[in-house]
Chain A
Protein backbone atom coordinates (compact mmCIF):
# COMPACT_ATOMS: atom_id res chain seq x y z
CA UNK A 1 0.00 0.00 0.00
CA UNK A 2 1.19 3.50 -0.84
CA UNK A 3 2.34 5.75 1.96
CA UNK A 4 -0.17 8.42 3.03
CA UNK A 5 2.57 10.90 2.23
CA UNK A 6 2.74 9.89 -1.42
CA UNK A 7 -0.02 12.39 -2.26
CA UNK A 8 2.31 15.27 -1.37
CA UNK A 9 5.09 14.23 -3.77
CA UNK A 10 5.95 16.48 -6.66
CA UNK A 11 6.20 15.11 -10.18
CA UNK A 12 8.01 17.13 -12.78
CA UNK A 13 5.79 17.51 -15.81
CA UNK A 14 8.08 19.90 -17.70
CA UNK A 15 11.66 20.22 -16.55
CA UNK A 16 12.91 23.75 -16.67
CA UNK A 17 15.73 25.71 -15.13
CA UNK A 18 16.63 29.33 -15.19
CA UNK A 19 20.30 30.14 -14.66
CA UNK A 20 20.82 26.85 -12.88
CA UNK A 21 17.78 27.19 -10.65
CA UNK A 22 15.15 24.47 -10.88
CA UNK A 23 11.81 25.97 -11.88
CA UNK A 24 10.23 22.84 -13.32
CA UNK A 25 6.51 22.77 -13.99
CA UNK A 26 5.26 20.18 -11.49
CA UNK A 27 1.85 18.79 -10.55
CA UNK A 28 1.81 21.45 -7.81
CA UNK A 29 2.30 24.22 -10.39
CA UNK A 30 -0.38 22.65 -12.55
CA UNK A 31 -2.92 22.84 -9.73
CA UNK A 32 -1.91 26.44 -9.06
CA UNK A 33 -2.78 27.14 -12.67
CA UNK A 34 -6.07 25.22 -12.27
CA UNK A 35 -6.85 27.29 -9.17
CA UNK A 36 -6.18 30.58 -10.95
CA UNK A 37 -8.17 29.51 -14.01
CA UNK A 38 -11.16 28.41 -11.90
CA UNK A 39 -11.14 31.62 -9.84
CA UNK A 40 -10.80 33.62 -13.05
CA UNK A 41 -13.73 31.77 -14.63
CA UNK A 42 -15.77 32.20 -11.44
CA UNK A 43 -15.22 35.95 -11.55
CA UNK A 44 -15.44 36.56 -15.27
CA UNK A 45 -18.38 34.26 -16.06
CA UNK A 46 -20.19 35.29 -12.90
CA UNK A 47 -20.05 38.96 -13.80
CA UNK A 48 -20.65 38.43 -17.53
CA UNK A 49 -23.77 40.44 -18.43
CA UNK A 50 -24.14 41.48 -14.81
CA UNK A 51 -27.65 42.53 -13.93
CA UNK A 52 -29.23 44.85 -11.41
CA UNK A 53 -31.09 41.88 -9.97
CA UNK A 54 -28.33 39.25 -9.87
CA UNK A 55 -28.62 35.60 -10.81
CA UNK A 56 -27.20 32.86 -8.61
CA UNK A 57 -23.69 32.98 -9.98
CA UNK A 58 -23.50 36.76 -9.87
CA UNK A 59 -24.80 36.62 -6.31
CA UNK A 60 -22.02 34.18 -5.42
CA UNK A 61 -19.36 36.53 -6.82
CA UNK A 62 -20.91 39.56 -5.13
CA UNK A 63 -21.24 37.72 -1.83
CA UNK A 64 -17.56 36.74 -1.77
CA UNK A 65 -16.65 40.32 -2.60
CA UNK A 66 -19.01 41.60 0.09
CA UNK A 67 -17.47 39.14 2.54
CA UNK A 68 -13.89 40.25 1.85
CA UNK A 69 -14.82 43.95 1.85
CA UNK A 70 -16.63 43.45 5.16
CA UNK A 71 -13.59 41.71 6.63
CA UNK A 72 -11.24 44.48 5.45
CA UNK A 73 -13.56 47.25 6.69
CA UNK A 74 -13.97 45.60 10.05
CA UNK A 75 -10.29 44.90 10.64
CA UNK A 76 -8.49 47.72 8.85
CA UNK A 77 -11.10 50.40 8.24
CA UNK A 78 -11.36 52.88 5.40
CA UNK A 79 -7.58 52.91 4.85
CA UNK A 80 -7.68 49.24 3.94
CA UNK A 81 -9.87 49.61 0.86
CA UNK A 82 -6.94 49.64 -1.53
CA UNK A 83 -5.78 46.25 -0.23
CA UNK A 84 -9.14 44.61 -1.02
CA UNK A 85 -7.93 43.16 -4.36
CA UNK A 86 -4.91 41.59 -2.63
CA UNK A 87 -6.94 40.13 0.26
CA UNK A 88 -9.60 38.99 -2.20
CA UNK A 89 -7.03 37.27 -4.43
CA UNK A 90 -5.37 35.70 -1.38
CA UNK A 91 -8.65 34.44 0.08
CA UNK A 92 -9.91 33.06 -3.22
CA UNK A 93 -6.57 31.41 -4.06
CA UNK A 94 -6.35 29.64 -0.70
CA UNK A 95 -10.07 28.76 -0.68
CA UNK A 96 -10.05 27.31 -4.19
CA UNK A 97 -6.71 25.53 -3.66
CA UNK A 98 -8.07 23.95 -0.45
CA UNK A 99 -11.35 22.88 -2.06
CA UNK A 100 -9.73 21.63 -5.30
CA UNK A 101 -7.38 19.58 -3.12
CA UNK A 102 -10.38 17.68 -1.75
CA UNK A 103 -11.26 16.33 -5.19
CA UNK A 104 -9.90 12.74 -5.35
CA UNK A 105 -6.51 12.48 -7.12
CA UNK A 106 -6.09 16.25 -7.03
CA UNK A 107 -2.99 17.87 -5.55
CA UNK A 108 -3.38 20.29 -2.66
CA UNK A 109 -0.98 23.16 -3.27
CA UNK A 110 -1.70 24.67 0.14
CA UNK A 111 -0.49 21.48 1.85
CA UNK A 112 3.06 22.50 0.98
CA UNK A 113 4.94 24.65 3.44
CA UNK A 114 6.83 26.18 0.51
CA UNK A 115 3.58 27.69 -0.79
CA UNK A 116 2.13 28.81 2.53
CA UNK A 117 5.48 30.14 3.74
CA UNK A 118 5.94 32.07 0.50
CA UNK A 119 2.54 33.69 1.08
CA UNK A 120 3.27 34.38 4.74
CA UNK A 121 6.71 35.84 4.01
CA UNK A 122 5.29 38.09 1.34
CA UNK A 123 2.58 39.29 3.75
CA UNK A 124 5.23 39.85 6.45
CA UNK A 125 7.40 41.89 4.10
CA UNK A 126 4.36 43.81 2.91
CA UNK A 127 3.51 44.65 6.52
CA UNK A 128 7.09 45.84 7.17
CA UNK A 129 7.18 47.97 4.01
CA UNK A 130 3.77 49.55 4.68
CA UNK A 131 4.57 50.06 8.36
CA UNK A 132 7.88 51.84 7.80
CA UNK A 133 6.55 53.77 4.81
CA UNK A 134 3.58 55.13 6.77
CA UNK A 135 5.08 55.58 10.21
CA UNK A 136 8.88 55.57 9.79
CA UNK A 137 10.75 54.61 12.94
CA UNK A 138 7.60 55.22 14.96
CA UNK A 139 6.54 51.81 13.62
CA UNK A 140 8.74 50.28 16.37
CA UNK A 141 6.14 51.49 18.89
CA UNK A 142 4.21 48.41 17.74
CA UNK A 143 6.37 46.52 20.24
CA UNK A 144 5.37 48.79 23.14
CA UNK A 145 1.74 48.33 24.13
CA UNK A 146 0.21 51.43 25.73
CA UNK A 147 0.08 51.69 29.54
CA UNK A 148 2.81 49.09 30.03
CA UNK A 149 4.46 49.41 33.47
CA UNK A 150 8.08 50.46 32.99
CA UNK A 151 9.28 47.51 35.07
CA UNK A 152 7.71 45.07 32.64
CA UNK A 153 8.80 46.98 29.55
CA UNK A 154 11.87 44.89 28.58
CA UNK A 155 9.92 41.66 28.96
CA UNK A 156 6.86 42.91 27.09
CA UNK A 157 8.94 44.31 24.24
CA UNK A 158 10.77 41.00 23.94
CA UNK A 159 7.49 39.06 23.86
CA UNK A 160 5.95 41.46 21.34
CA UNK A 161 9.02 41.20 19.11
CA UNK A 162 8.98 37.42 19.20
CA UNK A 163 5.26 37.32 18.43
CA UNK A 164 5.78 39.76 15.56
CA UNK A 165 8.76 37.93 14.10
CA UNK A 166 7.11 34.51 14.29
CA UNK A 167 4.07 35.73 12.37
CA UNK A 168 5.23 34.34 9.01
CA UNK A 169 5.95 31.00 10.64
CA UNK A 170 2.64 30.70 12.53
CA UNK A 171 0.62 31.94 9.58
CA UNK A 172 2.20 29.48 7.17
CA UNK A 173 2.36 26.47 9.50
CA UNK A 174 -1.32 26.84 10.51
CA UNK A 175 -2.55 26.42 6.93
CA UNK A 176 0.05 23.86 5.89
CA UNK A 177 -0.48 21.70 9.00
CA UNK A 178 -4.26 21.78 8.73
CA UNK A 179 -4.29 20.77 5.11
CA UNK A 180 -1.53 18.14 5.46
CA UNK A 181 -3.05 16.56 8.58
CA UNK A 182 -6.49 16.35 7.00
CA UNK A 183 -5.22 14.76 3.83
CA UNK A 184 -3.07 12.26 5.72
CA UNK A 185 -6.07 11.24 7.84
CA UNK A 186 -8.26 10.83 4.76
CA UNK A 187 -5.56 8.73 3.10
CA UNK A 188 -4.98 6.56 6.19
CA UNK A 189 -8.68 5.74 6.53
CA UNK A 190 -8.97 5.21 2.77
CA UNK A 191 -6.08 2.73 3.14
CA UNK A 192 -8.04 0.92 5.88
CA UNK A 193 -11.06 0.62 3.59
CA UNK A 194 -8.95 -1.01 0.86
CA UNK A 195 -7.01 -3.39 3.09
CA UNK A 196 -10.10 -4.47 5.05
CA UNK A 197 -12.10 -4.84 1.85
CA UNK A 198 -9.42 -7.05 0.33
CA UNK A 199 -9.06 -9.13 3.52
CA UNK A 200 -12.26 -10.98 2.67
CA UNK A 201 -14.89 -12.62 4.90
CA UNK A 202 -16.14 -10.69 7.89
CA UNK A 203 -13.38 -8.05 7.45
CA UNK A 204 -14.95 -6.85 4.21
CA UNK A 205 -18.06 -5.89 6.17
CA UNK A 206 -15.97 -4.09 8.78
CA UNK A 207 -14.61 -1.88 5.98
CA UNK A 208 -17.85 0.09 6.31
CA UNK A 209 -16.52 1.65 9.51
CA UNK A 210 -13.49 3.48 8.02
CA UNK A 211 -15.72 4.35 5.07
CA UNK A 212 -18.18 6.10 7.40
CA UNK A 213 -15.25 7.74 9.14
CA UNK A 214 -13.93 9.01 5.81
CA UNK A 215 -17.29 10.49 4.88
CA UNK A 216 -17.42 12.35 8.20
CA UNK A 217 -13.77 13.43 7.80
CA UNK A 218 -14.48 14.67 4.30
CA UNK A 219 -17.27 16.88 5.60
CA UNK A 220 -14.92 18.14 8.32
CA UNK A 221 -12.22 18.82 5.73
CA UNK A 222 -14.66 20.86 3.65
CA UNK A 223 -15.27 22.98 6.73
CA UNK A 224 -11.55 23.19 7.50
CA UNK A 225 -10.83 24.27 3.91
CA UNK A 226 -13.21 27.20 4.15
CA UNK A 227 -12.31 28.13 7.71
CA UNK A 228 -8.56 28.05 7.06
CA UNK A 229 -8.94 30.22 3.97
CA UNK A 230 -10.97 32.64 6.09
CA UNK A 231 -8.45 32.56 8.95
CA UNK A 232 -5.57 33.13 6.55
CA UNK A 233 -7.26 36.16 5.00
CA UNK A 234 -8.45 37.43 8.39
CA UNK A 235 -4.98 37.26 9.96
CA UNK A 236 -3.55 39.00 6.91
CA UNK A 237 -6.07 41.79 7.56
CA UNK A 238 -5.12 41.93 11.24
CA UNK A 239 -1.40 42.11 10.42
CA UNK A 240 -1.97 44.76 7.75
CA UNK A 241 -4.04 46.73 10.25
CA UNK A 242 -1.07 46.85 12.64
CA UNK A 243 1.06 48.34 9.86
CA UNK A 244 -1.54 50.72 8.48
CA UNK A 245 -3.18 52.06 11.61
CA UNK A 246 -0.48 51.30 14.23
CA UNK A 247 -3.01 50.91 17.02
CA UNK A 248 -0.48 51.52 19.80
Chain B
Protein backbone atom coordinates (compact mmCIF):
# COMPACT_ATOMS: atom_id res chain seq x y z
CA UNK B 1 0.00 0.00 0.00
CA UNK B 2 1.33 3.44 -0.94
CA UNK B 3 0.24 4.69 2.51
CA UNK B 4 2.90 2.58 4.19
CA UNK B 5 5.80 3.60 1.97
CA UNK B 6 7.77 5.93 4.18
CA UNK B 7 9.10 7.84 1.16
CA UNK B 8 5.56 9.14 0.66
CA UNK B 9 5.36 10.65 4.14
CA UNK B 10 7.69 13.61 4.12
CA UNK B 11 6.44 15.36 0.96
CA UNK B 12 2.82 15.01 2.16
CA UNK B 13 3.50 16.17 5.71
CA UNK B 14 5.52 19.13 4.45
CA UNK B 15 2.76 20.25 2.10
CA UNK B 16 0.12 19.55 4.72
CA UNK B 17 1.87 21.88 7.18
CA UNK B 18 2.06 24.54 4.50
CA UNK B 19 -1.50 24.20 3.19
CA UNK B 20 -3.14 23.74 6.58
CA UNK B 21 -1.14 26.69 7.90
CA UNK B 22 -2.54 28.85 5.10
CA UNK B 23 -5.99 27.44 5.76
CA UNK B 24 -5.75 28.27 9.47
CA UNK B 25 -4.81 31.86 8.60
CA UNK B 26 -7.70 32.10 6.10
CA UNK B 27 -10.14 30.79 8.70
CA UNK B 28 -8.78 33.14 11.37
CA UNK B 29 -9.27 36.04 8.96
CA UNK B 30 -12.74 34.96 7.83
CA UNK B 31 -14.41 33.94 11.11
CA UNK B 32 -14.55 37.38 12.79
CA UNK B 33 -16.75 38.57 9.93
CA UNK B 34 -19.10 35.63 10.43
CA UNK B 35 -19.21 36.34 14.15
CA UNK B 36 -19.77 40.06 13.56
CA UNK B 37 -22.72 39.36 11.25
CA UNK B 38 -24.23 36.94 13.76
CA UNK B 39 -23.70 39.37 16.63
CA UNK B 40 -25.29 42.25 14.71
CA UNK B 41 -28.22 40.02 13.82
CA UNK B 42 -28.62 38.94 17.44
CA UNK B 43 -28.43 42.60 18.47
CA UNK B 44 -31.10 43.64 15.96
CA UNK B 45 -33.35 40.82 17.11
CA UNK B 46 -32.89 41.55 20.80
CA UNK B 47 -33.38 45.29 20.17
CA UNK B 48 -36.59 44.58 18.29
CA UNK B 49 -37.72 42.29 21.06
CA UNK B 50 -36.87 45.03 23.56
CA UNK B 51 -38.91 47.54 21.57
CA UNK B 52 -41.80 45.13 21.37
CA UNK B 53 -41.53 44.53 25.10
CA UNK B 54 -41.54 48.26 25.86
CA UNK B 55 -44.51 48.76 23.55
CA UNK B 56 -46.30 45.91 25.29
CA UNK B 57 -45.59 47.37 28.73
CA UNK B 58 -46.80 50.76 27.52
CA UNK B 59 -49.95 49.27 26.09
CA UNK B 60 -50.52 47.40 29.34
CA UNK B 61 -50.09 50.52 31.46
CA UNK B 62 -52.39 52.47 29.13
CA UNK B 63 -54.95 49.71 29.38
CA UNK B 64 -54.62 49.63 33.18
CA UNK B 65 -55.11 53.42 33.28
CA UNK B 66 -58.11 53.08 31.01
CA UNK B 67 -59.60 50.39 33.22
CA UNK B 68 -58.96 52.47 36.34
CA UNK B 69 -60.58 55.51 34.70
CA UNK B 70 -63.48 53.35 33.65
CA UNK B 71 -63.93 52.04 37.19
CA UNK B 72 -63.65 55.59 38.62
CA UNK B 73 -66.17 56.90 36.10
CA UNK B 74 -68.50 54.08 36.87
CA UNK B 75 -68.19 54.70 40.61
CA UNK B 76 -68.81 58.43 40.15
CA UNK B 77 -71.79 57.73 37.93
CA UNK B 78 -73.24 55.28 40.44
CA UNK B 79 -72.67 57.77 43.26
CA UNK B 80 -74.25 60.64 41.29
CA UNK B 81 -77.21 58.48 40.34
CA UNK B 82 -77.62 57.34 43.95
CA UNK B 83 -77.35 60.88 45.29
CA UNK B 84 -79.80 62.19 42.72
CA UNK B 85 -82.15 59.36 43.47
CA UNK B 86 -81.98 60.04 47.25
CA UNK B 87 -82.42 63.78 46.75
CA UNK B 88 -85.29 63.26 44.36
CA UNK B 89 -86.95 60.80 46.72
CA UNK B 90 -86.59 63.20 49.68
CA UNK B 91 -87.86 66.04 47.53
CA UNK B 92 -90.79 64.01 46.32
CA UNK B 93 -91.61 62.92 49.88
CA UNK B 94 -91.45 66.49 51.13
CA UNK B 95 -93.63 67.73 48.31
CA UNK B 96 -96.02 64.86 48.80
CA UNK B 97 -96.28 65.76 52.48
CA UNK B 98 -96.84 69.41 51.61
CA UNK B 99 -99.48 68.55 49.05
CA UNK B 100 -101.06 66.07 51.44
CA UNK B 101 -101.21 68.72 54.14
CA UNK B 102 -102.68 71.28 51.72
CA UNK B 103 -105.19 68.76 50.46
CA UNK B 104 -106.10 67.76 54.03
CA UNK B 105 -106.61 71.40 54.96
CA UNK B 106 -108.73 71.94 51.87
CA UNK B 107 -110.69 68.77 52.62
CA UNK B 108 -111.18 69.85 56.22
CA UNK B 109 -112.42 73.27 55.06
CA UNK B 110 -114.72 71.66 52.55
CA UNK B 111 -115.92 69.24 55.21
CA UNK B 112 -116.64 72.14 57.55
CA UNK B 113 -118.47 74.03 54.81
CA UNK B 114 -120.34 70.89 53.93
CA UNK B 115 -121.28 70.31 57.56
CA UNK B 116 -122.34 73.92 57.90
CA UNK B 117 -124.50 73.83 54.80
CA UNK B 118 -125.84 70.44 55.80
CA UNK B 119 -126.90 71.81 59.17
CA UNK B 120 -128.34 74.86 57.45
CA UNK B 121 -130.24 72.73 54.97
CA UNK B 122 -131.40 70.42 57.72
CA UNK B 123 -132.67 73.41 59.63
CA UNK B 124 -134.51 74.78 56.59
CA UNK B 125 -135.67 71.25 55.83
CA UNK B 126 -137.11 71.13 59.30
CA UNK B 127 -138.95 74.43 58.71
CA UNK B 128 -140.17 73.17 55.37
CA UNK B 129 -141.19 69.84 56.95
CA UNK B 130 -143.01 71.69 59.70
CA UNK B 131 -144.78 73.78 57.08
CA UNK B 132 -145.55 70.71 54.98
CA UNK B 133 -146.73 68.83 58.06
CA UNK B 134 -148.97 71.77 59.02
CA UNK B 135 -150.31 71.90 55.47
CA UNK B 136 -150.86 68.10 55.31
CA UNK B 137 -152.62 68.07 58.70
CA UNK B 138 -154.73 71.10 57.66
CA UNK B 139 -155.70 69.36 54.39
CA UNK B 140 -156.55 66.14 56.19
CA UNK B 141 -158.19 67.55 59.25
CA UNK B 142 -159.13 71.02 58.10
CA UNK B 143 -157.47 72.38 61.09
CA UNK B 144 -154.06 73.77 61.23
CA UNK B 145 -152.00 72.42 64.15
CA UNK B 146 -150.07 74.68 66.32
CA UNK B 147 -146.63 75.50 64.95
CA UNK B 148 -145.00 74.15 68.07
CA UNK B 149 -146.82 70.82 67.90
CA UNK B 150 -145.85 70.35 64.19
CA UNK B 151 -142.24 71.27 64.88
CA UNK B 152 -142.00 68.86 67.79
CA UNK B 153 -143.64 66.12 65.74
CA UNK B 154 -141.13 66.71 62.90
CA UNK B 155 -138.28 66.71 65.38
CA UNK B 156 -139.58 63.46 66.88
CA UNK B 157 -139.93 61.82 63.45
CA UNK B 158 -136.51 62.93 62.17
CA UNK B 159 -134.74 61.94 65.35
Contact = CB atoms under 8 A, between A and B. Distances in A.
A163 B134 CA distance: 162
Interface in A1-36: 5, 8-10, 12, 21-26, 28-29, 32-33, 35-36
A47 interface: yes
Bin chain A's interface residue count: 35 or more
B34 A10 contact: no
Interface string A136-148: 0000000000000
A36 B38 CA distance: 24
Interface string A84-117: 1110110011000000000000000101111100
A111 B3 contact: yes
Contact residues of B: prevailing secondary structure: helix
A114 B8 contact: yes
Nearest to A21: B10
Interface residues of B, number: 33
Interface stretch (B11-19, B59-67, B108-116): B11-19
A29 to B, nearest CB: 4
Contact of A112 (B3, B24, B37): B3
Given A10-B8, A35-B23, 15 more contacts: A8-B3, A23-B10, A28-B11, A28-B12, A36-B26, A44-B26, A47-B33, A85-B31, A86-B24, A89-B20, A89-B23, A93-B20, A112-B12, A119-B16, A176-B3
Interface of B: 1-4, 7-17, 19-20, 22-24, 26-28, 30-31, 33-35, 37-38, 40-41, 44
